[in-house]
Structure 1
Amino acid sequence: MRIGYYAHHHGSGHCRQADKLAALLPSELRQRMTVFTSLPNDAYHFSTITDEQIVRLSAEDELPDDVLPGRAGKYWQPNSLHYSPVGNEDIQKRSWQLLDAIYQRQIDLMIVDVSVEVAMLCRTASVPYLYVRLAGERDDMPHLNAFAGALGLLAPYPKALEAAATPDWVRQKTLYLDFLPNKAQSLPSFSEFIDKLMTLSENGATKQQLCSHASADKAIYDHDKANPQTSVKTHIATVIKGYGGHEAIDAKLPELRQLLPDAIIVSLGPINEEVRHCVDIAAHVDDVTPFIAYSNLLLMACGLNGIAQVYDYATPLVVLPDVRPHREQEVMAEALIERGRALSWAQFMAQTSHMDSQNGTSFLSMSDKTISNEQAALTDHQTNQAAQNFMDSIADYISVNAWFQEWLLPQLGLKPEK
């Protein structure tokens, strides 16, 4: 089957999800996949999709001469849509671009990630589609209509992290793909990681601290060569931020510095200049995996791709969700906390303060762990079998009808009315 993937332009995460799914297809079928997005070319660089496979859509912003704005009120907007300007030439053009490319490229099945309006356009044009369900409380009428109009729903996260309020019929219609695997990269040794931190640091005292810790760790390693593992004594707290919003986490950096006065605090991603003095290292890196594997503590928001990277590691995690529509990150944070995989900021503060008041033991000392290259990697680079099975089914079938009847419906345990 030929697959079309609509990737929303808010952030780069939707394009990254398309990239991850494409990587699970055989190369000859991967070349037949088309991505539709209005995200600019320089905002995300695909690793598995070529430029010829991307249809850059016109924007959907409101224009001064629109007949009606995108949200015109109760009596001027269909209940099935979130946003629908009338008389908008850009949206008219992007709708034509979508339908024309679907027809010209003979797209058999669309994956919509995410847009109620694109889903409704596909259903009206009789184009089969699957709808990507993000975390959060999406029980409004437009979302429920988009879910009902889909052949099936895709959740790129584990079923265990599903929102408690999700209706049963939505759960049953959902294929849970777990977190999609990240591109495999070799994990450097702990010593190489420390060397990397030294190159990123502009502070002499921090370099000296890293050097002394590295020497101590080597001495422990040499003392017991029968155990090929290094006991980590470097207390490193890593703060990971994306470009979709970092102000809330930056606002916590002074408190983090106060709570962990002796730790090496690393900030990855954008940072406000007024709090830069609260961290020892502020940098932009291409691969955050070593920081995830070797830190004693991670502080981050709850974006889908970020949580997917850290979920299978044992590193203690403190989550500070961004405020997003439909409580997307808040619901993810609540699920992680409930399962014991993460602490809220309030829980972290309470635990750290309690430890210090009891016996002077810091939270980071309690999180010391023994690390080897093999152990630190855990399952992050292993194949996600649920996602692989889904993409294999796409590769195995030529007909959407046959795939829907013979593969998808048995997976869901559903049968549409005739």
Structure 2
Amino acid sequence: MIGYYIHHHGQGHRVRATSICSALTTAVTALSSAPPAGAECFADVICLARDDQGGPPLDPTANAALHWAPLLDRGLASRMSRVATWIESARPSLMVVDVSVEVAAFVRLLGVPVVVMAMPGVRTDSAHRLGYQLAEHIIAAWPQEMYDPVWLQEFAHKTTFVGGISRFDGRECDDTPPSGRPLVLVLSGTGGSDLSMDDIRLCAHRHPGYRWQALGVPGGPWVDDPWPQLSGADVVVSHAGQNAVADIAAARRPAIIIAQPRPFDEQQATAAALADKGLAVSVPQWPSVTAWPHLIEAALKRGGQRWPVWHTAGAAARAAAVIDTLAKQSEASR
């Protein structure tokens, strides 16, 4: 049995876990404060209490040693107790953590080998270093040749770069050339954004030479399967979350990437790597309305032909193979 801890913020961690666990041969129990998508790929799902709803947190960083461990928080105590109880009864051979330094450290203290999912950005603080140091293995869901942060190189001996993990891996792309009135698709997610449908309507009003469509933007439509819209767009405008980038890469769409504020400059690092390697047009914030024609034409000129270097094809299967191998090795050593 493998345990898989899934962070509840946004949809990305849950979607990525589903992609990986669907390719695993070892049974998996998901542990999360939010129901994971595609629960049929898990043998069981353990619902954990939230640890961020107990009022103003007291010393949540434990004197700067951790990221989130608020004093006297009943939710934190409950979730950690539930994790310990499950480990004692299920005796997992391995635990995948995506992501929490605290859960990784706690599980390792219980004697369970840990696989940690790496995240982009500036991860040089002591808490991140602790998590990567105690991990049995680290999986980075991007290609090493596209982004190889200095802070991760210390752990190169136990890191596997699997490429961008997309739930759309293997689906057919639409390679139809752009029409005379290109379709611009603006994608947003549930991880937080200051974008609104008013911004999209303003762009459509000022630039009618393009067709404008939005998915996931607050106040606008949401679809569970955006592949038809994504693969049919001439240009995709998106944040720089790992799943969003991987999905655009799988669709091979010209892209304008706008990094959203996230801890440790996660999205800024990804956006900078994409621009540096010529994969997408990257801008630091939502552009002025007058800037759009130049950005859209730059994205169309760049095209989406280079996206295969993000290695989305087979990425989830590569991650699953690493996890399966480590789980079998752990089980054999009991």
> TM tier, shorter chain?
0.7 to 0.9
Out of 47, 62, 70, the position equivalent to 1:56 is 47
Match of 2:211 in 1: 264
Q: Distance in 2 between matches of 1:237 and 1:4?
A: 40
Deviations 1:86-120 (A, max 9, x none): 33222222111101111211211001111111111
Alpha-carbon distance in structure 2 between the residues aligned to 1:355 and 1:84 = 47
Aligned to 2:321: 392
The alpha carbon displacement at 1:388 in A equals 2.3
1:124 and 2:109 are equivalent in the alignment:
yes
Shift in Å, 1:127: 1.6
Partner of 1:243: 190
Which of 266, 284, 308 does residue 246 from structure 2 map onto? 308
- SS of the residue corresponding to residue 399 of structure 1 reads helix
- What is the aligned length? 330
In our comparison, the structure showing a higher alpha carbon Rg is 1
What whole-Å deviation, never above 9, does each CA across 1:138-172 have from its counterpart, x for those lacking one? 11000001111111111112213425443421344
Match of residue 268 from structure 2? 330
1:16 is paired with a residue whose SS is helix
Aligned-partner Cα distance in 1 for 2:311–2:132? 31
1:5-404 alignment, distance < 5 Å:
5-26=4-25, 29=26, 32-39=27-34, 41=35, 44-50=36-42, 53-61=44-52, 63=54, 69-71=58-60, 77-162=62-147, 164-183=149-168, 187=172, 232-248=179-195, 253=200, 256-257=203-204, 260-272=207-219, 283-345=221-283, 363-364=296-297, 367=300, 383-384=313-314, 387-392=316-321, 394-395=323-324, 398-400=328-330
Distance in 1 (CA, whole Å) between partners of 2:37 and 2:285 is 38
C-alpha distance 331-163 of structure 1, shift in aligned 2 (>3 A): farther
Distance 1:177 1:47, change over 3 A: same
**Structure 2: gaps of 5 or more residues:** none
**1:36 Cα shift?**
0.6
Q: By how many angstroms is 1:392 displaced?
A: 3.2
What is aligned with 1:204?
Answer: none
Q: Please give the secondary structure, in 2, of the residue aligned with 1:311.
A: helix
Structure 1 residue runs without a partner (length 5+): 191-228, 273-281, 357-361, 404-418
Q: CA RMSD in A?
A: 3.7
Which moves more between the two structures, 117-126 or 170-179?
A: 170-179
Closer/same/farther in 2, CA of residues 256 and 342 from structure 1, 3 Å limit: farther
Inter-CA distance 319–246: structure 2 relative to 1 (3 Å threshold): same
| 8 A contact 2:235–2:299 mirrored in 1 | no
